Amino acid sequence: MLKILIPTIMLIPMIWTTPAKWLWTTSLLHSLTIALLSLSWLKNLQETGWLALNHYLATDLVSTPLLILTCWLLPLMILASQNHMAPEPVNRQRMYITLLTSLQIFLILAFGATELMLFFIMFEATLVPTLMLITRWGNQAERLNAGIYFLFYTLAGSLPLLVALLILQNSMNSLSLLVLQFHNPIYLTSLSDYIWWIGCTTAFLVKMPLYGVHLWLPKAHVEAPVAGSMVLAAVLLKLGGYGLIRMASVLGPAPKELSYPFISLALWGLIMTGSTCLRQLDMKALVAYSSVSHMGLVVGGVLIQTAWGLSGALILMIAHGLTSSSLFCLVNTVYERVHSRTMMLVRGLQMILPLMTLWWFIASLANLALPPLPNFMAELMVMSSLFNWSHWTLILTGAGMTITAGYTLYMFISTQWGTPPKFLPVLEPTHSREHLLMALHLIPLLLLILKPDLIGGMWMAM
């Protein structure tokens, strides 16, 4: 763990001491070296227990894929941000990369934490760099409003979690996951137990986000710079799913009076956010709402608490992280050239940027979960576990998949096909940097088809 964490921390003094002309090159190479080093965690995935262990940090089959995704994303964010940050003063560029690095440090500590209180502190610490990215480097005047939504939704959900963890510490005398796994399951019987369970899960459901407490996400995505959108979609939403999986192992089986309403709300959100996507004109808002839709399936898979549901939820989190991050990068490449994200104004890009259309095509197919991509495997596992729980869920999940295919293909066809409008300016050709960025997103996704058990968690290993 420290062989990844210490180089990441040392990236910050390097950013502030490197000459300006080498800033982006050295930051990219340093972060890419860390990302490649993190792949060494994959060699121990035959084990089902905790690995790379010390008193506070460890990895297991649930946290390892998320840790590697976190490390993999930093060089991609630096690559994506280089063009639009170039005109800014050097100190602002340094500050921008420092915030991205600090996010990676907090996320490594959150996903690697064996103490629930350390996890909670790092869970909250990610709020500060993300808020600064949205409010200081956002594109439009509404970025302050988006930052306030993000701050207050997250804080309002997190306060009950802090109280619930303190109560757990008082009753169990420990918050270490290494100790709590050997405790007897906690059986919830009284009303106060039910309120405590809701307090433990609310923060994670808001972070995912669950439909009904999702309003902060589209605002934050639309106003954030491209790196902010990438890290929000790819990793920060996964903190919610990871927290739910960890708390489920501590809390034991949830009573049906508590889990059924949340599962129903998540599946209803699948339909509603998909329907919202069907009438979206802004490409970035469409990708943001599709994230809410996919996270609804993750909530269902985790709360069902079957081996297939949990494995499917974890695979979907990783696959969705790479897919949605690549879609935000593609939207950014269009925005940098056309200076608009409205689909009505952008048509016929296949004739102008033909190679970029290939990346659009692969990312769109991954978003609508085409076999044999990991997205399809994950959604099939979650849907089958939900169907086993209740046959009626097939109506909601089936309608959700159909709507997802509809709006994804609509976005692809409306931007790539047709005749380019006459008012479209002469577009500069795509750069090797942008193709490298898309390759580093989508090639790992395609390679995971060959060995999906790398990201399937301990339930697939059993």
pLDDT of 423: 77
pLDDT of 457: 73
The structural domain count of the chain equals: 1
**pLDDT value at 13 more than 60:** yes
* Per-residue model confidence as pLDDT tens digits over 219-247: 898 888 999 899 998 899 999 999 999 88
**pLDDT value at 183 more than 80:** no
Q: How many CA atoms lie within 13 A of 135 on its CB side?
A: 13
pLDDT of 44: 67
Q: Which residue range(s) make up the domain with 449?
A: 256-461
Residue 90 burial (CB count, 10 A): 11
Which pLDDT band, with edges at 50, 70 and 90, does 42 fall under? confident
Assess if residue 346 is contained within a domain: yes
Assess if residue 306 is contained within a domain: yes
Greater confidence (189 vs 96) lies with: 96
pLDDT of 45: 64
Assess if residue 455 is contained within a domain: yes
What is the DSSP code (8-state) at residue 450?
T
pLDDT of 205: 92
CA distance linking residue 72 with residue 70, whole number of Å:
5
Complete DSSP assignment for 333-381: HHHHHHS--BGGG---HHHH-HHHHHHHHHHHHHHTT-TTSHHHHHHHH
CA distance linking residue 38 with residue 5, whole number of Å:
10
* Mean pLDDT computed over every residue of the chain: 89
Torsion of CA 18, 19, 25, 27, to 10 degrees: 20
Which pLDDT band, with edges at 50, 70 and 90, does 29 fall under? very high
Which pLDDT band, with edges at 50, 70 and 90, does 314 fall under? very high
pLDDT of 461: 56
pLDDT of 252: 72
Greater confidence (44 vs 43) lies with: 43
pLDDT above 70 covers a percentage of the chain that reads 98
* Per-residue model confidence as pLDDT tens digits over 316-338: 999 999 999 999 999 999 998 88
Assess if residue 97 is contained within a domain: no
Greater confidence (89 vs 251) lies with: 89
**pLDDT value at 46 more than 70:** no
pLDDT of 421: 80
pLDDT of 427: 81
Assess if residue 59 is contained within a domain: no
Q: How far is CA 364 from the centre of its chain?
A: 17
Assess if residue 358 is contained within a domain: yes
Q: Cβ(239)–Cβ(107) under 8 Å?
A: yes
Residue in this structure with the two tokens 């502190």, named with its chain if needed: 121
* Per-residue model confidence as pLDDT tens digits over 125-147: 999 999 999 999 887 778 888 88
Assess if residue 82 is contained within a domain: no
Q: Cβ(38)–Cβ(4) under 8 Å?
A: yes
* Per-residue model confidence as pLDDT tens digits over 333-381: 999 888 888 888 888 888 888 899 999 999 999 999 988 899 999 999 9
Assess if residue 166 is contained within a domain: no
Please give the average per-residue pLDDT across 22-37, as a whole number: 94
